[in-house]
Structure 1
Amino acid sequence: MRRTALFDVHQRLGATFTGFAGWEMPLRYGSDVGEHHAVRQSAGLFDLGHMGQIAVGGPDAAAFLDYALVGRLSAVKPGRAKYTMLCHTTGGVLDDLVVYRLTDQEFLVVANAANAPVVRAMLGEHSGGFAVTVEVVDRALIAVQGPDAVKIVGEHPDLKYYAIKPAEVAGRDVLLARTGYTGEDGFEIYCGNQDAPAIWAFLQDKGAQPAGLACRDTLRLEAGMPLYGHELSIHTTPFDAGLGRIVALDKGDFVGGEALRACTPTRELVGLRATGRRSPRAGYVVVDADTGETLGEVTSGAPSPTLGHPIALAYVTKNLDSRHLAVDVRGKREAVEIVPLPFYQRPR
């Protein structure tokens, strides 16, 4: 399996490793729950070097991304970022992405690790007729997330949420972004592989606690953020996931546009709160608590360390708010209720 530039650091810290999308990644360093609380209460430190980074540049870069992705990337100003998706011609989601506009003609597309080869291939396939280059970038990525992130990384009052700029961290040149996947304020730091260990050590010395993939999943679940392979797949559209707002249907021709314009979702992604102690898990069936009728399926679920009760995301038939719902947990119906998303929102 592939290893990030920080693999040796994780070994020295005693990390438990897991295979993830072909990468050997730290699952945890000690306690999942302890790392989760560190992010919510102070700051966590994540190695995201497994994420795919793809540089798109050239005179037609903005027009090309308008065509290839569902959002209007030409409207993004240099130094800003946009959450968007790459869809199949059927309207199904191939990956959800964060795209940074670095200059008028330079963009950075950040893809999920498992989908990075597909995103690179599809962008290359769609680039015919456009004056663009599409290239994979080999670079480390470190995230600092939590209420103490600004104190640890440093004050950057000019760097707003979903923005990026060149900066220095630990005396190294980086791209510093105000983005994240935990529901907390924080930064994502794009840096040279050779600089990653020194930057990690600097951030850890300043108080950021190393955190693994296990707590990253419970953090994003509490924040109601979708995970590809769970809430998103080629069998779901942005509208199914409640993310139709990111689709610019009025921008002209784009990949998947025809299918998305004709889309009429019959299901919706909802948040579920379990009233008992047993957690709904991915693949568990959502049923009518009175009749047993199948109404949907859980996509992600876990005990919430922050809230103190089990939570889940699930696709269900639309407009079920008035139904008594349950999840079939190993043959026993556990009562759940639909609640607003996100489950957790950081104090402002």
Structure 2
Amino acid sequence: MTTWIIQTDAPGDGPRLAVKDAIDVAGLPTTAGCRAIAERAEPAAADAPVVASARARGARIAGKANLNELCMAADGVNPWSGTPVNPLDPSRVPGGSSSGSAVAVATGEADVAFGTDTSGSIRIPAACCGIAGLKTTGGRVPLDGVYPLSPTLDVVGPMGRDVAAVVLGMGLIEPGFTPVPYDASLPVARLRVPGVDPAIDAAVDDALRRLGPFADVTSAHYEEAATVNGVIVSAEGWEQNGHLLGDPAKLSGRIHRRIQQMKDVSEAGMLDWALGARKTLRAELDAILARHAAIALPVLTCVAPEPDEADESDLLLTALTGQVNVAGLPAFALPVPLPGSHLPASVQLIGPAGGEERLCGLAAALEAALA
């Protein structure tokens, strides 16, 4: 039951949709996976626009899916609402913060799921559970009715067992969404970042070769932008959630410490630096994307870790993902084979702003090449 905060039994024959419990569903409370929020949460008066759109397209709400407390971690572990079980290996974390959304899809309890992503929270659980997920362009999908962590970084996006299910999810959000077939005349740019397990890097390279030649590229700012993400999340997260420090008994110890750290970072006066670095990263990635179909790199530096390997800072899990939120670009996470392992690797394909249609076409071509 730890996959869900609330399960529902919606009639009909439309796709079963799991909704992360940070997104409003009419008649149900939104808990954000947190006791402090749950104890005062009233049933939502209306669906969030993304849910209303999905319902209008015939989706059946399967329930509100579990998540990391307040969306503030990336391992999927929640001491209050429970931790969803990774269906690929119960000894490994499911990833987060959209943990229940990923597990519901991976176990077949939902056909598609909606998650949120601030520093990788769609892509990380997708990678851990061996499914697909799409972090959308910043601002493309309305955030009304979505619990805020960092409003300038937060996005909503779909998760599914394969590319077709993710496309279905985008169609529930945006009627008429249609992938654009991959244009092989534009090479994929392969970005390499230090600290990745060589076997993971090799798996991503092997997968990309199925599509054809790719071009190695470098970034002077990608690594640094992980810190930029942390500064922005801290400044905005403190503004959104700082009031919860007044009721520490209703927060887990980790999240209480994290909110205190947000306060400390906010008071350090680093936000102006982070906003300047954000523009620099976006300009650099835009320049690469002007000459390439997408930028490819792993989602994770390693396979899904065991709980005691996922450090409190989340740096092991978010080392490669939060930069995409800083840049405001879309990114598609797709599992790829990892020879010698029962767990997959996952590649993230980063596209230009507003380029989800082409990104889904590229992901479909890669998925077909791997079949």
Provide the TM-score with structure 1 as the length reference: 0.24
More strand by share: 1
Higher helix share: 2
Q: TM-score, structure 2 length as denominator?
A: 0.23
